[in-house]
Amino acid sequence: MAIAIVVVLLIVGSTVFHFMSPWWFTPLASNWGSIDDTIMLTFWITGVVLIAINLFMAYAIWRYRYQKDRRAEYEPENKKLEGWLIGLTTLGVVAMLAPGLIVWADFVTVPEDAHVFEVMGQQWQWSYRYPGRDGILGTTDNKYVDFDNPFGIKPDDPYGQDDILVQSDEVHVPIDQPVKVLLRSLDVLHDFYVPNFRAKMDLVPGLITYFWFTPTKIGSYEVLCAELCGQGHYAMRGIVVVDEQIEFEAWLAEQPTFAQSMALARAPGTDGQEQTASAQSVASISADYKISDEQLNLLNAYLDSSLE
């Protein structure tokens, strides 16, 4: 008998726990409210099922507890009942799956006007790269990685010269602009996870992976590595700051370009080369990336201001 009572108490307790819990999703700071909606839909459908089945079970345990002079009912099966239960379950599953797949279709379809930045992971730090004025990230290869060129950008790739390098665990993004995050790892698997954005994706050495989101709330959000990457995994943290456009541009302008950092590494006074390269690359914006005119102007503005 105690077991029926305990089952009821656990169900009541879990429900109370749910409503009292101070542990819940962080405030949403991206466009992925639709993910939250799907979660809540799943939560309510499954929650009702959880409560209903367990209460029914508790009732059955109490109602049909052992009595010496009673016999259980002999009933091998009841096809009609089983048919109904299968049907209803299928409906419930469809009600969760269909919206889920619709949102997933959004998730895998990157908006054409999304701007791009790259996240690079290595044990146990984050760094970031913006494509610079030309809107195109320079080609990279692990064989070019060295102390002066930590991102491994191909030294003679014209698209790479104006790439803006962020060698810090903090990156900024402008508010309300869709962004495609390209993910690259130098060593092992990592996972770029910002709880407030809901989205996450693994970084896989040898591949470039991606996901997209639109930041919707000004603020500073923590990045956690969510794929075990060795002993320092738990300490691999970063920050994404969502800025107003102006502040974002100002921040970006403070970051060095690839050409600048290489020049600095080699010797002072070779800025001229870099400017030529940037000019060339701006002229040859590729249609592949489908950068809008507005964004192109924006990018040119960053580069200009960064060169001043």
Partner 1 sequence: MTDTTPADVGFAPPAEVEEVELYHAKSWITKYVFSQDAKVIAIQYSATAIAVGMVGLVLSWLMRLQLGFPETFSFIDAADYYQFITMHGMIMVIYLLTALFLGGFGNYLIPLMIGARDMVFPYMNMLSYWVYLLAVLLLMASYFVPGGPTGAGWTLYPPQSILPGTPGHEWGIILMLVSLVLFIVGFTMGGLNYVVTVLQARTRGMTLMRLPLTVWGIFIATILALLAFPALLVGGVMLLLDRVLSTSFFMPSIVLMGESLDYGGGTPILFQHLFWFFGHPEVYIVGLPAFGIVSDLLSVHARRNIFGYRMMVWALIAIGGLSFVVWAHHMYVSGMNPYFGFFFATTTLIIAVPTALKVYNWVLTLWRGNIRLTIPMLFAIGFIFTFINGGITGLFLGNVVVDVPLSDTMFVVAHFHMVMGVAPLLVIFGAIYHWYPKITGRMLNETLGQFHFWITFVGAYSIFFPLHYLGFLGVPRRYYEIGETAFIPASAQSLNAFVTVVTLIVGFAQLVFFYNLFRSLTKGEPAGDNPWQATTLEWQTSETPPGHGNFGDELPVVYRWAYDYSVPGAVDDFIPQNKAPDETTGRSEPT
According to CB under 8 A, which residues from 140 to 159 bind partner 1?
A: 142-143, 145-147, 152
Q: Which is nearer to partner 1, 56 or 286 (CB)?
A: 56
Site of tokens 């010496």 = 68
Rounded Cα distance between 165 and 128, Å, is 6
Task: Say if residues 29 and 242 touch (Cβ distance below 8 Å).
Answer: yes
Amino acid (one-letter) located at 199: A
Rounded Cα distance between 21 and 77, Å, is 42
# residues contacting partner 1 (CB under 8 A): 101
Q: Which stretch binds partner 1 (CB under 8 A): 88-96, 169-177, 242-250, 275-283?
A: 88-96
Residue ranges in 161-180 that form contacts with partner 1 under rule CB under 8 A: none
Amino acid (one-letter) located at 31: N
Q: Which is nearer to partner 1, 56 or 254 (CB)?
A: 56
Host H or E run for residue 252: helix 245-254
Q: Which is nearer to partner 1, 85 or 218 (CB)?
A: 85
Supply angle C-alpha 106, 110, 114, rounded to 5.
130
Regarding 111 and contact with partner 1 (CB under 8 A), the answer is no
Q: Which is nearer to partner 1, 219 or 254 (CB)?
A: 219
- Omega prior to 124 cis, within 30 of 0: yes
Q: Which is nearer to partner 1, 222 or 304 (CB)?
A: 222
Q: In Å, what is the CA distance from 218 to each residue of 7, 29, 154, 180, 196? A: 45, 8, 35, 18, 12
Q: Which is nearer to partner 1, 70 or 272 (CB)?
A: 70
Non-local (6+) Cβ contacts of 72 within 8 A are 64
Residue ranges in 35-74 that form contacts with partner 1 under rule CB under 8 A: 35, 38-39, 42-43, 46, 49-50, 53-54, 56-57, 60-61, 64-67, 70-74
Regarding 122 and contact with partner 1 (CB under 8 A), the answer is yes
Residue ranges in 229-248 that form contacts with partner 1 under rule CB under 8 A: 229-235, 237
Regarding 19 and contact with partner 1 (CB under 8 A), the answer is no
